[in-house]
Amino acid sequence: MSIRVPMPDPFKTAQNQLDEAAAIIRLDPAAHELLRCPMRELHVTMPVKMDNGTTKVFRGFRVQHNDARGPNKGGIRFHPDETINTVRALATWMTWKTALLDIPLGGGKGGVICDPKTMSAGELERLSRAYIRQVGRILGPEKDIPAPDVYTTPQIMAWMADEYAFMQGNNEFGVITGKPIALGGSAGRGDATARGGIYCVREAATALGINLTGAAAAILGYGNAGSSAHKLAVELLGMMVIAVSDSKGCIYNAEGLDYNAVKTHKEKTGTVTGFPGSSAISNEELLALDVTVLFPAALESVITETNTSNIRAKIIAELANGPTTPEADPILYNKGIHIIPDLLCNAGGVTVSYFEMVQNAYGYYWEEDEVHLRLEKKMKAAFQSVHKTAQQYKVHNRLAAYIVAVERVAEAMKLRGWY
Ligand code: GLU
């Protein structure tokens, strides 16, 4: 019989992380209290006609954590285990992420409790439109701008943008990002999350004097961020990806896994498992591999107090949101493992989302090269500010990222006269 370990509450984690940073920078108590909770949240119930003729009722949320620096920004997740506290945590992390990247946006997040894997395209479209009919009243290019996240796609963003256009009576492309290119999307948004993370890994390797050419990497999770990280780790860093995983299992090959072949296999079978020439390993074995870079790119709380002692990676690049529990952070730091925290590592997605909003606003679209160059500049600047702050305060990178972000949001709140 396996023992179920209770999952930490991500919102408590987010609040504790803020508390730690607030104590270091001696944050004003009112500013601190304001930042501990979202400023606004909407809980919605949505009837959706299913293909079999019945009506199913879904629950969803949109949380707006803080918009002192600009409109709330953040993705929408479709997940069967979604909870309001997960969405609250993720909205909070978006506030820090946009501040850390120094883009003029705040933090928001949405979630719908559903299992997209068991739904038809028609059912997903009706659910997406129902969600926008309910939360559309608090969205807008100057209010709150959603984007893709776990199990939501550019197609879902297209349906949502279309529904919002019906509600407004005109197109408002800037209300949502991560749209398909044919519908006001930005070049380079598709792999932006992974690309931003790869730029950070390159910076970290330079700072640590590590040569990445031919070095091994393992990736936990093979959604948009994980699969793009596989491609870009090979293409941009010359690394060898020796293990990847998805919700069905993990695959391993010490000689490296070919990106195109794994992608074709996953497209055909729906999973990476059973990939020819690979052996099956467990999640825990993947996390414990002797690799230079480990990319957690799936869900929250996979690196915990109990498994950190097995981790041998030199760099952990957090493409997922919240993959490391707070108890694991100091242990990894003391082991000398360089963490590129989620707030920084996966911020390429929201950064190119911001570029998408800018392009929507002036109706003129950039070439992909230009998006990459601008993204690289933003990621490098954010990496350096975290690196410098970590050295200045002698703290781990996550706390350093919090210090930078919280100070910026607090400054905006002060200037607005909120405290
Ligand atoms: N969902 C992504 C994140 O967690 C992107 C958000 C966005 O582009 O607004 O950062």
**Ligand 1 neighbour 74 (Cβ under 6 A):** yes
Handedness of CA 86, 87, 92, 95 (dihedral sign): positive
Q: Are strands 144-145 and 216-220 parallel, antiparallel or unpaired?
A: unpaired
Distance between CA atoms of residues 194 and 240, nearest Å: 16
Q: Where are the alpha helices (DSSP H) in 136-255?
A: 154-168, 192-208, 224-237
Atom of ligand 1 at shortest range from CA of 321: 4
How many angstroms is it from 237 CA to the middle of ligand 1?
A: 24
Distance between CA atoms of residues 115 and 151, nearest Å: 9
Selection from 234, 176, 156 nearest residue 201 by Cα: 234
Handedness of CA 225, 226, 227, 233 (dihedral sign): positive
| CA atoms lying within 13 Å on the CB side of residue 233 | 34
Whole-model pTM: value is: 0.94
Instruction: Tell me the C-alpha to C-alpha distance, in Å, between residue 124 and each of 114, 116, 129.
Output: 10, 7, 9
Distance between CA atoms of residues 349 and 152, nearest Å: 13
Measure CA 402 to chain center.
16
**Ligand 1 neighbour 349 (Cβ under 6 A):** yes
Distance between CA atoms of residues 414 and 68, nearest Å: 9
Amino acid found at 257: L
Q: CB–CB of 167/131 below 8 Å?
A: no
DSSP reduced 3-state for 148: strand
Amino acid found at 127: L
Q: Could you give the residue numbers annotated as active site?
A: 109
Distance between CA atoms of residues 65 and 59, nearest Å: 20
How many angstroms is it from 109 CA to the middle of ligand 1?
A: 8
Q: CB–CB of 303/325 below 8 Å?
A: yes
Atom of ligand 1 at shortest range from CA of 74: 9
Atom of ligand 1 at shortest range from CA of 149: 1
How many angstroms is it from 90 CA to the middle of ligand 1?
A: 9
Ordered by where they begin, the domains of the chain are 40-175 (3.40.50.10860), 192-345 (3.40.50.720)
Show pLDDT as tens, one digit a residue, over the chain (419 residues): 334 445 678 999 999 999 999 999 999 999 999 999 999 999 999 999 999 999 999 999 999 999 999 999 999 999 999 999 999 999 999 999 999 999 999 999 999 999 999 999 999 999 999 999 999 999 999 999 999 998 999 999 999 999 999 999 999 999 999 999 999 999 999 999 999 999 999 999 999 999 999 999 999 999 999 999 999 999 999 999 999 999 999 999 999 999 999 999 999 999 999 999 999 999 999 999 999 999 999 877 799 999 999 999 999 999 998 899 989 999 999 999 999 999 999 999 999 999 999 999 999 999 999 999 999 999 999 999 999 999 999 999 999 999 999 999 999 999 999 99
Q: CB–CB of 339/359 below 8 Å?
A: no
Q: Identify the H or E element spanning 20.
A: helix 10-25
**Ligand 1 neighbour 95 (Cβ under 6 A):** no
**Ligand 1 neighbour 75 (Cβ under 6 A):** yes
Q: Are strands 240-246 and 249-252 parallel, antiparallel or unpaired?
A: antiparallel
How many angstroms is it from 311 CA to the middle of ligand 1?
A: 27
Distance between CA atoms of residues 115 and 211, nearest Å: 42
Q: CB–CB of 257/275 below 8 Å?
A: yes
From the number of C-beta atoms within 10 Å of its C-beta (0-12, 13-18, 19+), residue 172 rates as middle
* Among protein residues, the one whose CA lies closest to atom 8 of ligand 1: 350
